[in-house]
Amino acid sequence: MPIGIHDLSFATGHYVLEHAELARAYGVDIDKFHLGIGQEAMSVLAADEDIVTMAAAAAQPIVDRHGTGDIRTVLLATETAVDQAKSAGVYVHSLLGLPAATRVVELKQACYGATAALQFAAALVAREPSQRVLVIATDVARYDLESPGESTQGAAAVAMLVAADPAILRVESPSGLFTADIMDFWRPNYRSTALVDGRTSITAYLQAVEGAWKDYGEQGGRAIDEFSAFCYHQPFTKMAHKAHRHLAEFASLADTPNELHTAVLPTTLYNRVIGNSYTASLYLGLAALLDHRTDLDGRPLAMFSYGSGSVAEFFGATVVPGHREHLRTAGNRSAVNRRTPIDFAGYRALHEQTLPTDGRDHELPVEGSGPFRLLGLSGHKRIYQARAHRS
């Protein structure tokens, strides 16, 4: 019985900061960003947006299309959680009006968490094929101002409905797995911004590519030349190209440099203008690939998921014939194109904004344009609401 992604939708922040604006502010050549890391712009959240509002906005179109009756589980993956105890998915469950008879869990392992959620969801559906699982990856990549990671920032949420006989993508077995205890990227509880050792992180990523691919082969996976395209986690889009060249050499794939570039390029088109979205990044890449290539019916794709620290997984998936009828290409492009440009001063002010911690009532300004907003805080509780008119 095939199991996989039956529907897929994403949302991002209200604002967009062009890297040209960042380059002007810091007095650097724009090629440092456009060519050096492969980034053109980054999504920036409005004051009344967070991972919950993005997650609900990403999932709302799925609920509108399929209803709530068969959704028995919500698995939300994030590394920018809003609470140390309560799952952000519980807020989403309420905003979407999902049934009380639902399990809701939050998963964390850096940028890998959404792939864990996808695999756990597939196992739940295999046990009970009549149920569907809502998987949501939602994150805000945030680094210190003027740090090397600042230009890779971004924000997005991807929602996936996992079901039997999926309409878009069949997830295959086996998976290749890899874990190593490496401090390449981390965010202690007392920090609002992440710490990263850039050189170590790139080395750890490539080590994980090798390890996961090696295990995939040992588990009886496909030969590398069977895949029609390759999706990689993208902390910045140039990393996907670097990873693919590394895998090609390690696995003795005889493609030309142009073929290696073409196999990855379509997966980078959304991430290039949204920025890093941690758990959502790989699945934004998948959405971009499906939206921009029309020749994938029945073809196998390679998926590589990496989360710093580090955990990685390599698995295959087959595109379902007729999948294009179920894509949300127009909506996806609209989510990118309707963002409001922000200047460097406005971005910097939002970056430095912090929520009060005194437990008193605080109402946030009405700023974003998404269907849900963070209204404010009261008694250390976050209060969310649906907007009167959803955009």
Question: Active-site positions?
Answer: 79, 111, 233
Using CA atoms, how far apart are residues 55 and 45, in angstroms rounded to an integer? Answer: 13
Please say whether the beta carbons of 341 and 25 come within 8 A.
Answer: no
Q: How, if at all, do strands 340-341 and 311-319 pair?
A: unpaired
Using CA atoms, how far apart are residues 118 and 11, in angstroms rounded to an integer? Answer: 18
Residue 298 backbone zone (phi > 0: left; psi -120 to 50: alpha; other: beta): left
Within 8 A by CB and 6+ apart from 338, the residues are: 369, 391
Q: How, if at all, do strands 300-307 and 229-232 pair?
A: parallel
CA distances to 40, 160, 238, 279, 292 from 116, rounded to whole Å, are 29, 13, 24, 10, 26
Q: At what angle do helices 257-264 and 237-250 cross, to 10 degrees?
A: 130
CA angle (233, 286, 94) in 5-degree steps: 95
DSSP symbol at 365: P
- Secondary structure E strands in the chain: 3-12, 15-18, 41-44, 71-77, 103-107, 132-141, 154-164, 169-179, 185-186, 195-196, 229-232, 300-307, 311-319, 340-341, 362-363, 372-378, 381-386
Cα end-to-end distance, the chain, whole Å: 38
The upper half-sphere exposure of residue 178, i.e. CA atoms within 13 Å in the direction of its Cβ, equals 28
Peptide bond preceding 310 in cis form (omega within 30 of 0): yes
Q: How, if at all, do strands 132-141 and 71-77 pair?
A: parallel
Q: List the beta bridge partners of residue 73.
A: 103, 133
Q: Coil, strand, or helix at residue 105?
A: strand
